[in-house]
């Protein structure tokens, strides 16, 4: 009998020791040990004497103070929670090493960015209430004894937000950035212009926002209903607002990649400056219908100069290495019917209208490269010949990415099949959801995506920079609606980008996600499956012991 009890205790102890904390994205290596470190009123935080490291320590201090109600101070010297510079070159720019024992918590990294990601893991080791915007009483603030060594699989891990179709306020953009950072994603692709709206102030061309940011009405219901609301719609970001967002993002180690669509998806720009189009005498209007328009930029020198001027202001604003220039869904009808375009094709010895698109992309690539930056384009930029310095964003499946990688071009994988987050999240016939563009993409399928195709050689595979999820907003009118579509599928995208292929397991991810949803609840995130009202807006759950 005694022996049986002893065996049972050993079994229970082993399960306790081996219990894994619910961290998302899953770390590369994690070991647990019995015991826990408790935060108290005397807990302090220390960091190297450096501005960036100090900011990370202050962010942690602010979050812990807010949730616990205790003033968790930063100190010079050794704190109970200490950030330290690591000599481990294997950690790279974004990796970290976290150790929690009876003495406290140590987070080591080679850079402040790595320390920031270590902080994100530390927060997830604490109770979910740590994400509360108000002090929460009755919580035992403990960190389990763990050792974590963690580095990301891919260098590019991001989400795209389309604000061309529906403008999103700056306050929400910042919340979006916070959620990217929480999940260790480092790229915010900001889709700023489209047929239905121009959302960025350009000083040299004020009509882009005076005219191009406003459409006179918006489609009501689904595209197939062909109904309109009759209400003008607009909005744009001033350059000062953009600078504010960029500073906010930089403090959270999120790079912001602006997208200026060309040579297609140009109707908002043409409504502002009709001389840039194929029919300068035409009265263009900002698009009110979803979909693709035949109206595209005419590649005259005048137009190319306009695009260079716009990109000059964009580059002066955004420090990003990459500038996204679109390049997708550019109908060739107007070029095929234009004497000027056909003469230009002959003059430049181009094969056809696809070659003319390549001509435009190469001209823009040369200009952007001269400014010390690099272009990203959707996979249509492969048509007619790929520009030498271009990075391809493969959205029509993975084939474009495979082709580009085999030609030694960098690639970001973002296929509609797995990471287009404007699709329904469950079968709309059985689960009530807000109207969406169509399709049906459950989180399990998103999570199953493998960004590096097996057909690529090890050398070619190095050109797969990472993965991105995309939210197009034709039907997404509000921040709450955007959150509902983004999460939790965007979290699956985060784990795809960070965690190793061997570490991925959907059943395990689902288990961790259930705990993670409690964190999202405290952050007021309107994720699919959260408590919502008939407008699909978040309803704050009743919480006990909240001051």
* Residues belonging to the active site: 194, 265, 329
The answer to whether the beta carbons of residues 424 and 438 sit under 8 Å apart is yes
Q: Which residues contact 39 (CB under 8 A, 6 or more apart)?
A: 64, 68, 70, 72, 80, 126, 141, 142, 143
Q: Using CB atoms within 10 Å of the CB of residue 431, give its burial: 0 to 12 exposed, 13 to 18 middle, 19+ buried.
A: exposed
For 501-531, the DSSP string reads GGG--HHHHHHHHHHHHHHHHHHT---TTS-
Report the alpha-carbon distance of residue 304 to residue 310 in Å, rounded: 10
Cα 184 to its chain centre, rounded Å, is: 10
The answer to whether the beta carbons of residues 434 and 481 sit under 8 Å apart is yes
What six digits make up the tokens of 85? 């510079």
Instruction: Identify the residue whose tokens are 């489209």.
Output: 194
Q: Which residues contact 251 (CB under 8 A, 6 or more apart)?
A: 55, 59
In DSSP terms, which residues pair with 198 in a beta bridge?
193
Report the alpha-carbon distance of residue 147 to residue 125 in Å, rounded: 11
Report the alpha-carbon distance of residue 93 to residue 110 in Å, rounded: 6
């Amino acid at each position: 009998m005694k022996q049986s009890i002893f065996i049972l205790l050993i079994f229970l102890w082993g399960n306790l020791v081996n219990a894994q904390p619910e961290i998302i994205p899953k770390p590369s290596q994690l070991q647990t040990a019995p015991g826990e470190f408790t935060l108290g009123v005397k807990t302090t935080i220390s960091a190297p004497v450096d501005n960036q490291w100090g900011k990370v320590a202050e962010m942690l201090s602010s979050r812990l103070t807010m949730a616990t109600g205790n003033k968790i101070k930063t100190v010079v010297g050794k704190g109970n929670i200490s950030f330290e510079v690591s000599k481990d070159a294997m950690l790279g720019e974004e990796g970290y090493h976290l150790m929690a024992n009876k003495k406290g918590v140590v987070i080591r990294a080679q850079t402040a960015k790595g320390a920031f990601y270590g902080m994100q893991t530390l927060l997830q080791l604490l109770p979910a209430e740590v994400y509360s915007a108000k002090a929460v009483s009755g919580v035992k603030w403990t960190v389990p004894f763990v050792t974590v060594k963690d580095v990301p699989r891919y260098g590019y891990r991001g989400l795209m937000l389309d604000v061309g179709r529906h403008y999103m306020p700056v306050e929400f953009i910042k919340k979006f950035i916070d959620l990217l950072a929480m999940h260790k994603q480092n790229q915010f692709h900001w889709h700023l212009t489209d047929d239905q709206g121009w959302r960025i102030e350009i000083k040299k061309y004020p009509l882009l926002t005076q005219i191009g940011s406003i459409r006179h009405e918006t489609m009501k219901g689904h595209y197939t209903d062909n109904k309109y609301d009759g209400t003008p719609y607009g909005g744009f970001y001033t350059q000062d607002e953009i600078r504010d967002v960029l500073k906010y993002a930089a403090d959270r180690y999120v790079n912001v990649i602006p997208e200026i669509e060309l040579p297609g998806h140009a109707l908002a720009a043409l409504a502002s400056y009709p001389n840039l189009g194929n029919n300068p005498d035409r009265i263009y209007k900002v698009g009110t219908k979803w979909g693709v328009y035949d109206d595209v930029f005419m590649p005259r020198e005048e137009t190319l100069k306009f695009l260079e001027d716009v990109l000059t202001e964009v580059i002066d604003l955004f420090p990003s290495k990459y500038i996204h220039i679109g390049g997708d869904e550019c109908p060739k009808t107007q070029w095929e019917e234009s004497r000027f375009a056909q003469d230009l094709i002959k003059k430049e010895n181009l094969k056809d209208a696809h070659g003319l698109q390549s001509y435009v992309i190469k001209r823009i690539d040369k200009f952007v490269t001269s400014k010390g930056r690099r272009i990203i384009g959707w996979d249509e930029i492969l048509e007619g010949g790929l520009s030498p310095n271009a990075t391809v964003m493969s959205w029509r499946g993975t084939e474009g990415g495979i082709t580009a990688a085999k030609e030694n071009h960098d690639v970001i994988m973002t296929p509609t099949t797995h990471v287009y987050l404007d699709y329904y999240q469950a079968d709309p016939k059985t689960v009530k959801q807000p109207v969406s563009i169509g399709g049906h993409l459950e989180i399990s399928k998103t999570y199953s995506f493998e960004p590096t195709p097996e057909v690529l050689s090890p050398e070619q595979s190095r050109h797969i920079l990472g993965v991105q999820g995309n939210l197009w907003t034709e039907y997404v009118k509000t921040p709450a609606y955007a959150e509902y579509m983004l999460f939790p599928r965007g979290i699956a995208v985060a784990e795809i980008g960070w965690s190793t292929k061997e570490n991925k397991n959907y059943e395990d991810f689902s288990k961790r996600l259930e705990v993670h949803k409690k964190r999202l609840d405290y952050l007021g995130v309107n994720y699919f499956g959260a408590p919502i009202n008939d407008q699909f807006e978040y309803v704050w759950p009743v919480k006990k012991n909240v001051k």
